[in-house]
Structure 1
Amino acid sequence: MILDRFHLTDKVAIVTGGGRGIGRAIAIAYAEAGADVVVAARRPEVLEEAAAEIRARGRRALAVPTDVTRGPELDRLIEATLSSFGRLDVLVNNAGGYPPTIALGVTDEEFEASFHFNVTSALHLSRVAAPHLARTRGSILNISSAMSHLVDTGFVAYGAAKAAMNHMTRLLAHEWAPQVRVNALAVGATMTDALEAFTGYGDLLEQMAKRTPMKRLGTPEDIASAALFLASPAGSWITGKILEVDGGTVASNWPYAIPNGLEESG
C-alpha cells in the first residue's frame, strides 16, 4: 500500500523547538506515524506538555530542555537520545527565528546572533547527529522560511540566515549522500502562537491572508504534513531540496510598510 510509505514505525526523531507551534505539530505528526520522539526547547513545562501528547498517541517521548545556541547542550541532546532509544532516524532543525530589524538598525552582533541561532546551531547539531543517522540511513530536515528567497524591509538578518540555511542544506545533502538525506522546508506565514503574539491578532492577520494566493495563512499541520513526507520512506529519493510550503506566495505578504531609515537622506 502506498500509504505505508508515509509511516515512521519504530523510528526515532529529534525535533528542536518542539514545545509549541510548528515543532510541536511535527513531533505529534511523527508520533501518529509511528515514531518515538525527542522534543527539545528551552522551556521544560512546554516540552512536557508536548511529550504528554506524544505519549497519548501510544509512542515514547523524551523531553530534553535545550538552548540550541549552546554547543554542549546540543551534544547532550544527542547523547540523551541515544541513551534512551539507542538509535536516531530523523533530525528536525526547527528552532530558529529573529525579529524584524532594518539593515541600518541591525548591529554586527545582532546579525551574527541571527546566523548563530538559525544556521550555526543547525550545523552543529547536524554534524553531531550525522554519524548516527548514517547507521539508519536517516534524514535531516531544516525548517527554513519563505523570506529566504522573498524580499521585504526589515528582514535582512533573518532572511539572509535562512538563505544560508538553504544552501547549507544543499551542501550537506551532497556531502552526506547516500547515507543521510538532507532537505528543508521554506515555510510561509503560519498561524502559531508566536505569529499571533507578534502581530497582535485581528486585522493584520486578515491582511496577510488576503495577500496569500490560497487566501489563508498556513497551519502548523500544513507544515507537519510536508515534514512527514520528507522524513518518511515516501521521500526516500529526495535530498538537497528546498520545498516551499507557503500557500503559493511569490511576494511578501507582510502588510507593514517599514521605513528603511534612508528617507531623510533621500
Structure 2
Amino acid sequence: MLLWTGWCCSSPGLQGQKSGSFHNRQQHVISYRGNMAMAISAARFCLQAERTVFSLSPGLRRSVSMPARARFISTSTASNFQFRLDEHTAHSSLDLFKKDTGIIYRMMGLDPTQVQDNPKRFREWAVVFGDSKISSGRHYWEVTVKKSQEFRLGVAEAQMSRDECVGTNSSSWVFGYAQRKWFAMTNSKVVPVTLVGKPDRVGILLDFEAGVLGLVNVERPCVIHALRAQFKAPLCPAFGLWDGELLTHSGLEEPEGLK
C-alpha cells in the first residue's frame, strides 16, 4: 500500500499524466456515447424523414403530373383533319402544285380539249374542292394567299352543282375577299366582315354539329366572323381563286384560344 501510494506521490508528473489519460479516456467514452446517441437520433430522424418522403412522393408526383396532362389534353384536338386538293374538281384555269396542296390561277388556263372530261370538275368557275369529306366533328385548317386580290375560302356540299360558284347557293358557305374588302357569303347573300385587313394567312374552323363556320385570326387565335347553318350533307373544303396563288395547310391542331 505504501509503495503504491509512494509511487503515486513520488511521481506527480507521471501521476498527472496517468490521471489526464484516465480523464481523456472518460471524455472519449462520453464523446463516443454522445456521438452514438446523436447517430442513433439522426438515423431515427432519417428513417422518419424517409417514411415521410416516400409516403408523400406519390401524392407529389400526382400534383406535378396532373396539370401537365391537363394542359396536353386542352391543347389537342379530337382529330387533325388532313386533305389535299382534288384535281378532278379543279377548273381548267387552276394549276395544282406542291403535292396538290396549292393552286395557281392561270389567266389563259389549260386548253379545255386537254383537260380530262370529268363530271366532278367545275366548268364555269375557278373553283376546286378538297379531296376529303366531313360529316361530323370539329375541324381546323389554314390557308396562305399570295398575290391575290380576289378569292373565296370555306366549305360546300360534296354534291354541289359544278355549274355554280361557291357562295352563290344554299349548299356552300364561304369567306371572300374582293375590292380590298372581306365578306361572308352563302346563297348569294353577302355580309361585310370588318377589322380583318389583308393577312397573308387565315384559319378556317368548322364545327359540323354546332353548325358553325368561322374565319380565324391565326396571329392572335380568335374567330373574326362566323357563319351559322344546319349542315346535313357531307362537306368538302372549297376554294375559289381569280388571281395569284393559294396554299392550304391541313393536319393542324386547333389553336388553344378557340376552345
What is the TM-score of this pair, normalised by structure 2? 0.23
Q: Comparing both structures, which one devotes a greater share of its residues to helix?
A: 1
Q: Which has the higher strand share?
A: 2
Larger radius of gyration: 2
